[in-house]
Amino acid sequence: MDDVYRRLDEQVDALRAELEREREARKDQADRLKKIEGLTNPRRGSTFRWMVIGGGAYLLGAKAGRTRYEQIMAKGRQARDGARAALNGAGEAETPIPTRELRTSER
């Protein structure tokens, strides 16, 4: 029985030594990683950079967005006018269809 305990103690000692080596290797890797991160700081100047990028995107998006909005509204007006002409031409509707501009101007 003593022989079994002795072998188990040896295995435990070997496992503890291996665990200690792995901990040291992990600590060394973490130290190297910290040094690399110190050389290339991704946060340096990032606020200003994002402000410039965001401002440019806002300006370009606002200009393109307004143009696209106007295109969509023009297509909508064409569709509305076409439907109105079809209804008025068929005699189904005597009065013109009220437009959104009239409804919003009445407020």
Mean local confidence (pLDDT), 15-39: 87
Mean local confidence (pLDDT), 31-44: 72
CB 80 within 8 A of CB 93: no
Dist. CA 59–CA 52, nearest whole Å: 11
Which residues make Cβ contacts (< 8 Å) with residue 84, sequence separation at least 6?
Answer: 93, 96, 97
Residue 106 predicted with pLDDT over 70: no
Place of tokens 């890797």: 29
Mean local confidence (pLDDT), 34-63: 75
Question: Which of 26-30, 50-54, 82-86, 101-105 ranks highest by mean pLDDT?
Answer: 26-30
Between residues 107 and 59, which one has the greater pLDDT? 59
Between residues 31 and 68, which one has the greater pLDDT? 31
